[in-house]
Amino acid sequence: MASRSKLSGIQKQVLALYRGFLRTARLKSPEERHRIESVVSAEFRENARNIDRKNFVYIEYLLRRGKKQLEQLKDPDITGLSTLQINKSSSH
Amino acid sequence: MAAITTGSAVSFARPVKAINVGSVSFAGLRKDNVAFRMQPVTQRLAVICAAKKETVEKVCDIVKKQLVLPEGTQVTGASKFTDLGADSLDTVEIVMGLEEAFHISVEESSAQSIATVEDAANLIDKLVEAEAGK
Contact B102, B54 (CB under 8 A): no
Contact A2, B9 (CB under 8 A): yes
B87 tagged catalytic:
yes
Task: Give domain status of residue A4, yes or no.
Answer: no
| Distance between A85 CA and the closest CA of chain B, angstroms | 24
Instruction: Please list, in sequence order, all residues whose beta carbon lies within 8 angstroms of the beta carbon of residue B98, skipping any fewer than 6 positions away.
Output: B59, B62, B104, B106, B120, B124
- A38 vs A64: CA distance, rounded Å: 21
The per-residue pLDDT for range A44-62, each reduced to its tens digit, is 999 999 999 899 999 999 9
Instruction: Please list, in sequence order, all residues whose beta carbon lies within 8 angstroms of the beta carbon of residue B34, skipping any fewer than 6 positions away.
Output: B53, B77
The per-residue pLDDT for range A60-73, each reduced to its tens digit, is 999 999 999 999 88
Asked if the Cβ–Cβ distance from B115 to A7 is below 8 Å, we say: no
Task: Give domain status of residue A57, yes or no.
Answer: yes
pLDDT band at B83 (very low <50, low <70, confident <90, very high): confident
Task: Give domain status of residue A1, yes or no.
Answer: no
Task: Give domain status of residue A60, yes or no.
Answer: yes
- Quick one: DSSP state of residue A9? H
CATH class of B51-134: mainly alpha
Task: Give domain status of residue A62, yes or no.
Answer: yes
Task: Give domain status of residue A2, yes or no.
Answer: no
**Burial of B122: CB neighbours in 10 Å, binned 0-12, 13-18, 19+:** buried
- B99 vs A55: CA distance, rounded Å: 33
Domain count, chain A: 1
* ipTM of predicted assembly, 2 dp: 0.79
CB contact A90 to B (< 8 Å): no
Asked if the Cβ–Cβ distance from B6 to A16 is below 8 Å, we say: no
pTM beyond 0.80: the answer is no
